[in-house]
Amino acid sequence: MNARNVPLPDVPHVVTVGLPHLTSGFDLAARLDLGTHLKVHGPLAPVTGEHLATLAEEVSLLGKGGAGFPFGRKLRAVARAADRRGVPPVVVVNSSEGEPACRKDTVLINRAPHLVLDGALLAAEALGARTLLVAVTRDSTEASVTDAFAERGLTDRRIRNRGIRARIVRTPERMVSGEASAVIRAANGGPALPPGRRERAAESGVAGAPTLLSNAETYAQLAVAARLGPRRYARTGVPDEPGTVLLTLSGAVARPLVVEVPSGVPLGYVLQLAGAPPFPQGVLTGGYHGSWIDAYAAHDAAVSRTSLASFGGTLGAGALLPIGPETCPLGESLRIANWLAAETAGQCGPCKLGLPAAAGGLSDVLNGGGQAALEALREVAQAAKGRGACKHPDGSVRFLLSTLNAFTDDLAAHILGGGCGRPTAGVLPLPGPDRHGPARYERAAPSGEKLAVDWTLCQGHGLCADVVPELIRLGHDGYPTLADTSVPLHLRPRAQRAVRRCPALALRIEQPPAAPSAPVAGKALDRRRS
């Protein structure tokens, strides 16, 4: 099995099932430069906007970044907005893969950058766009795009290649930085965070212009479809979802893989190809905003949106993560819940307060909190659902609720107090430590401590709420209202400062109750004899 607690490499090993589309030429070179790319794929003729939208509709091309929005409809919306406003649109390639379990777009950008640029330039020319942006998160992807721009004569300093100016937008390696609105905000010179308001990029995106934004695989699929045509493209895969799919496999596998498979291939075959356990406890589908399915569903499901959805799974961002019987699935999920809580943009209550509270609630359940802890967790998760300024809270809640529904036997074992008896092996990949010390998700882990108020002393000064508003808010009566959650480690210093600043000495931090010690075997035997 793969190494535990180790981040995925930028470019995992790549495997192709059937005839390759996106991975054509990978057996010839580690990276296809422009000359090799043209030898493998051949030239690509320009296409008008109407023909390109029709092509995307005929091959049922959906966005491959997770949302699955029809690309043809998005293309038409940008074209209409540009015509109505008389403003040249902008085309954006979103290869900001900030999710630790996803590498398919990184593989495409690093190994086949010109296939991605083919699709993006095809769309740009069809729309009459003057600007092409490529958003990246990693040094390796930035270097590959820089080289590809140079090979094509694309530059930001002067317009050279068919009237199109191109540049790279660097975003941090964070979950929320890959959301479309965060990429657009970064392209406009702001932080790579969702702006907190819902705006349609097709109407107003980069520099206020209509913007066509999709991920790297979508543009690569568009380039393949334009070369093959709808009939040849549809010969691969299932009729309602033709073509191939790129998947990232990690977790309990022999080694992480990026796999290109025709849609409709049995999921069990793909898992077997990666060296997953023959009968996994569960498979996380769609990545860390996705859903768990059990071993029976993994055996019967196929690689398609429709099939996975029928078993309660999702294709999402194309990540598949099986776990074996040797690890505690709830402990594995708690690691991910802590990471998701640390990835918050900190711009709305459901994200800033709800996700740490949910992670703390899952920790309470694992530590013997009983049925009350489980009900509190469900209440916190439902309260965060559908109320966020971006999609991160919804995706995180989907993952948490799926965990509770998928591993009911383990959940019962923890609720009854004994636990499942298995350690947490750490098979689900997360980022490693950075130069500032522990990884963000480790700093966001709940400490087990809770804030408490002695109401006989509290005088409603409100100083505590100014120090740590993530955990304390003032009610309508001016007195503090405390979040019913453990104090995350990264908020512990401010929680301690709030305690020190309370002039009435009413605020305190309560330590978690000590776990009951297991009875000594000999003494237990003596009691039974008596």
Asked if the structure places residue 525 within a domain, the reply is: no
Can you give the pLDDT at residue 436? Answer: 41
pLDDT band at 255 (very low <50, low <70, confident <90, very high): very high
- Do 412 and 466 lie in one domain? The reply is no
Q: Of 231, 257, 273, which closes a domain?
A: 231
Domain boundary residue among 422, 443, 464? 443
523 CB-contact burial (10 Å; exposed 0-12 / middle 13-18 / buried 19+): exposed
Flag whether pLDDT at 515 surpasses 60. no
Of 493, 482, 402, 404, which is closest to residue 447 (Cα–Cα)?
493
Please give the Cα distance from 117 to 122 (Å, whole number): 8
**What average pLDDT does the segment 68-97 reach?**
94
Angle at 31 between CA 263 and CA 258, to 5 degrees: 30
Mean per-residue pLDDT, 284-289: 96
Q: What is the DSSP string of 302-364?
A: BSSHHHHHHTT---TTSEEEEE-TTS-HHHHHHHHHHHHHHT--SSSHIIIIIHHHHHHHHHH
Residues 67 and 169 both lie in one domain: yes
**In-domain check, residue 10:** no
Tokens of 454: 């002695």
**122 and 221, same structural domain?**
yes
Over residues 481-487, mean pLDDT: 70
Same domain as 473, residue 424: no
* Residue-level pLDDT at 484: 60
- Start-to-end CA distance of the chain, whole Å, equals 48
Residue type, 163: G
* 260 and 404, same domain (yes or no): no
pTM of the model: 0.84
Q: Residue 54 belongs to a domain with what CATH number?
A: 3.40.50.11540
Decide if 281 is inside a domain.
Answer: yes
Domain shared by 198 and 53, yes or no: yes
Torsion, Cα of 292, 297, 299, 302 (10° steps)? -90
Between 258 and 415, residue with greater pLDDT: 258
In a domain, 117, yes or no: yes
CATH number for position 479: 3.30.70.20
Query: What is the tally of structural domains in the chain?
Result: 4
Tell whether 366 and 471 lie within a shared domain.
Answer: no
Residue 34 domain flag? yes
- Residue 25: pLDDT band by 50, 70, 90 thresholds? very high
Measured CA to CA, the distance from residue 91 to residue 88 in angstroms comes to: 10
Between 20 and 383, the higher pLDDT residue: 20
Residue 155 and residue 267 in one domain = no
For residue 81, the model assigns a pLDDT of 96
Domain holding 136, by residue range, is: 22-231
Q: Is residue 479 part of a domain?
A: yes
Q: Is 108 within the bounds of a domain? A: yes
What is the reported pLDDT for 522?
34
- Using 50, 70 and 90 to split pLDDT, how confident is the model at 168? very high
Could you tell me the CATH number of the domain that includes residue 434? 1.20.1440.230
Q: 53-77: per-residue pLDDT in tens?
A: 999 999 999 988 777 789 999 999 9
pLDDT grade for 446, boundaries at 50, 70 and 90: low
pLDDT at 385: 76
Question: End of a domain among 385, 414, 443?
Answer: 443
Question: How remote is the C-alpha of 104 from its chain's centroid?
Answer: 12
Which pLDDT band holds residue 352 (cuts at 50, 70, 90)?
Answer: confident
pLDDT tens profile 191-222 = 988 887 777 899 999 999 999 999 999 999 99
Smallest Cα–Cα separation from 370: which of 421, 411, 327?
411
520 in a domain, yes or no? no
Q: Are residues 269 and 122 in the same domain?
A: no
User: CA 415, CA 405: separation in Å to the nearest integer?
Assistant: 14
Closest among 390, 9, 7, 353 to 191, alpha carbons compared: 390
Residue 93 sits in the same domain as residue 115: yes
Mean pLDDT score, 147-159: 81
Pairing of strands 319-323, 244-249: parallel
Are residue 95 and residue 147 in the same domain, yes or no?
yes
Q: What is the CATH number of the domain that holds 293?
A: 3.10.20.600
28-42, 153-167, 234-248, 461-475: which has the minimum mean pLDDT?
153-167
Pair 418, 468 in one domain: no
User: Is the confidence at residue 477, as pLDDT, over 80?
Assistant: no
Residue 85: the pLDDT is: 94
